[in-house]
């Protein structure tokens, strides 16, 4: 029988396939790039289309990219790619592994707070109010409050939350007395229409006073040119300045900030306030949550954050405990 083996002694196609070390170099390069984006995302410039902020908005999902690369590396039987994929796995663990661990146990001095963009198109505001009250929080912050839904929230929440304050389209309901409520001007200079989306009030808790801010920052848009977030970033700067100037040491921020805690556009806030110590709690969109843009931050420690069951909104509510001890 005639042999198919060429004069060089190697079966046809072996050279094309290569060894386990020479195969998968493209996959290995993609793995290194993924790890670099996870660890050095701040190096991605924001000058063109705010690509840095766009990356940071979905940064945790790069872990899924690492999983896909690992599957492809195993399919290709590439030792080089399989080892390289360890880099984004370690990088993801460094960035987000802490969010998977259980948070500290709640204390007697903790406040349970709920944040929810209730949606101005919510067809069942009373049902939404009952769902939020069922979590038995101390404070509930709501955005996109519009008439006549506002009346439903007020009437439904009044029995359990006798104190409330509303400014424009944002409001707060509390089991503890509120005083000194005022609007916080976080309106970007380029907006000309009526726009009232920030308030500040003092919550008189059994463990001392707390300055509570409720805010709804401008929306961002993702398009062919990148992320349109200039108004959101400007509003975050105004809010950060207001919080920095607050006379009280204890400050709590609840709101739809239209950005994740990794997004550098929220740096005026995340640089001053603590964020939840564990939990992802992706809150938007409610049907298939991709990011947490509903935030709970404080000068005190913020415990694990979680989502609550869906309401009539396109956002999921989020809840967390804030330590006042």
Q: Are 139 and 319 in contact (CB under 8 A)?
A: no
pLDDT tens by residue, 221-248: 887 667 889 999 999 999 999 999 999 9
pLDDT confidence of residue 15: 43
Domain ranges of the chain: 19-100, 111-322
pLDDT tens by residue, 35-45: 999 999 999 99
- pLDDT at residue 143 above 80? yes
pLDDT tens by residue, 265-321: 999 999 999 999 899 999 999 999 999 999 999 999 999 999 999 999 999 999 999
Residue 23 and residue 80: Cα distance in Å, rounded?
Answer: 7
pLDDT confidence of residue 228: 86
Q: Is 205 helix (H, G, I), strand (E, B) or coil?
A: strand
Q: Are 16 and 184 in contact (CB under 8 A)?
A: no
Give the residue from 217, 221, 212 showing the smallest Cα distance to 111. 212
The alpha carbon dihedral of 293, 46, 194, 165 has a sign of positive
Confidence of residue 2 (pLDDT cuts 50, 70, 90): low
- pLDDT at residue 139 above 80? yes
The residues near 304 (Cβ < 8 Å, ≥ 6 apart) are 102, 103, 276, 277, 278, 279, 320, 321
Q: Are 295 and 114 in contact (CB under 8 A)?
A: no
Q: Are 145 and 169 in contact (CB under 8 A)?
A: yes
State the CB neighbour count (10 A cutoff) for residue 208: 12
pLDDT tens by residue, 46-92: 888 889 999 999 999 999 999 999 999 999 899 999 999 999 999 99
111-322, what's its fold?
A: Deoxyribonuclease I; Chain A (3.60.10)
pLDDT tens by residue, 162-174: 999 999 999 999 9
Q: Is the peptide bond before 148 cis (omega within 30 degrees of 0)?
A: yes
Residue 218 and residue 221: Cα distance in Å, rounded?
Answer: 10
Instruction: Please give the helix or strand (H or E) that residue 157 lies within, else none.
Output: helix 149-157
Confidence of residue 7 (pLDDT cuts 50, 70, 90): low
On average, the pLDDT of the chain sits at 92
Confidence of residue 16 (pLDDT cuts 50, 70, 90): very low
pLDDT confidence of residue 264: 96
Global pTM value: 0.90
The residues near 28 (Cβ < 8 Å, ≥ 6 apart) are 73, 78, 80, 81, 83, 84, 85
- pLDDT at residue 207 above 80? yes
Give the residue from 294, 206, 311, 195 showing the smallest Cα distance to 253. 294
pLDDT tens by residue, 92-123: 999 999 899 876 666 767 999 999 999 999 99
């Amino acid at each position: 029988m005639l042999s198919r083996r060429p004069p060089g002694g190697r079966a046809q196609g072996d050279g094309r396939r290569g060894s386990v070390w020479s195969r998968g170099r493209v996959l290995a390069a993609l793995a290194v790039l993924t790890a670099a984006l996870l660890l050095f995302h701040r190096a991605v410039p924001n000058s063109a289309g705010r690509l840095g902020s766009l990356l940071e908005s979905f940064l945790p999902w790069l872990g899924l990219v690492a999983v896909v690369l690992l599957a492809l590396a195993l399919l290709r039987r590439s030792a080089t790619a399989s080892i390289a994929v360890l880099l984004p796995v370690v990088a993801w663990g460094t960035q987000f592994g802490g969010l998977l661990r259980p948070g500290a146990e709640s204390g007697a001095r903790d406040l349970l707070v709920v944040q929810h963009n209730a949606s101005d198109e919510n067809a069942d505001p009373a049902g939404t109010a009952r769902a939020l009250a069922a979590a038995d929080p101390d404070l509930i912050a709501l955005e996109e409050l519009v008439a006549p839904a506002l009346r439903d929230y007020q009437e439904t929440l009044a029995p359990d939350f006798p104190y409330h304050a509303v400014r424009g389209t944002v409001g707060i309901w509390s089991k503890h007395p509120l005083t000194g409520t005022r609007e916080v001007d976080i309106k970007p200079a380029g907006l000309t229409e009526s726009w009232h989306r920030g308030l500040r009030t003092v919550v008189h808790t059994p463990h001392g006073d707390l300055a509570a801010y409720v805010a709804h920052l401008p929306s961002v848009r993702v398009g062919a040119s990148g992320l349109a977030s200039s108004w959101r970033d400007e509003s975050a700067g105004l809010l950060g300045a207001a919080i920095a100037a607050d006379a009280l040491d204890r400050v709590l921020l609840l709101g739809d900030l239209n950005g994740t805690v990794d997004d550098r556009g929220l740096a005026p806030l995340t640089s001053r306030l603590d964020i939840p110590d564990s939990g992802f709690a992706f809150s938007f969109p409610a049907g298939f949550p991709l990011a947490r843009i509903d935030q709970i931050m404080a000068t005190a420690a913020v415990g694990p954050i979680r989502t609550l069951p869906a309401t009539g909104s396109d956002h999921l509510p989020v809840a967390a405990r804030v330590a006042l001890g």
